[in-house]
Structure 1
Amino acid sequence: MSSEKQKIKLTPEEKIHQKETMVEEMGVFFEKTGLTPMHGRVFAYLLLSDPVYQDFYAIQDFLKASKSAISTALKFLTHRKLIRYITFSGDRKRYFQVDTDGWLLEMKRKLEYAEGMRDFTENVLQYRSELDSPKFNEKLEEIIGFHREINACLKDFIIQWEERRQKKIE
């Protein structure tokens, strides 16, 4: 028996409802990663869109949000290189889409942040070495150890992933 999920044919109304639900759920998820709810909803909408590029008004219409809110979200996401815009000859509109390369780079940057946090915590521990709080300092050492191990694993993972990715390209 196949472990693949069976595709259920949805009506157009059901597809729209499913997309709305997914945009809201993904918006909440992306909010937990530091984006505002609107940033998350715009990003989620673009992830789910077909075609993969959408103009300003399509985004605004689907999300039922103000021009200002959409404009602010698009500027922020473009600045962070999570989305980009494209244009077509003879069409004055800008079309927005997820920048998959930029998104991948952002994820790698967040991993580097973890390494910076470890360095920062090591400096804190060094500063605290003369203070009388051995139990607290032990907990900081535990956090540093966690960061060291996770960073080593992540570096190895990224190297292996890049090698596999390169082989696919060749």
Structure 2
Amino acid sequence: MTDSTPAQPDEAAQNAALQKAVIVGMQPGQPDHVLREALRYAKLLGSPLVVAHVDVTRFVTFEDPDGYVHSAPIDLNLEAGVAEFEDVQKAAEAMLADADVVWTARQLVGDPALAIKQLAGKLDAQLIVVGTRKRGLGESIREFFTGSVAARLSHRQHRPVLVIPQGEEVPDDQKDVWSE
């Protein structure tokens, strides 16, 4: 997948500078502690940090031999993915402003697990960090059909995947874990 900001020739140079990165999958409204943990590991490993947002409203049409990805929208509302990426960038900028680590934000497209896997391959990432999904019936149905991004990542590539809980602990005696 590709960064939405750099031009095609700049991607190779940018990827070279981001080798051995820690990648964190982010979405708007995600708890801050997911990014904080990714930052902590990036510092511990002496690695750059890549904040990745996956626009699931677009899909990959083809990829050039040099790695540049061309995509097309599932529907005509292109602003939704752009707005989400801007929200993720703003949240990352606010949290990482004083961080002593090289970081960048990337907009990916398509299936989240496959997009993050491909980015991790391009960057030879040391670690992938993702948050758990929110509790609730809607999220349970979505996961039933699409599967857990963390589980799919852990089964489809060799890099370690760190899964950060949302922060909403469920008591041990609560039978229905996914109730809202």
TM-score (norm 2): 0.28
Q: Which one has a larger percent strand, Structure 1 or Structure 2? A: 2
Larger radius of gyration: 1
Q: Which has the bigger relative contact order, CA under 8 A and spacing at least 6?
A: 2
Q: Which one has a larger percent helix, Structure 1 or Structure 2? A: 1
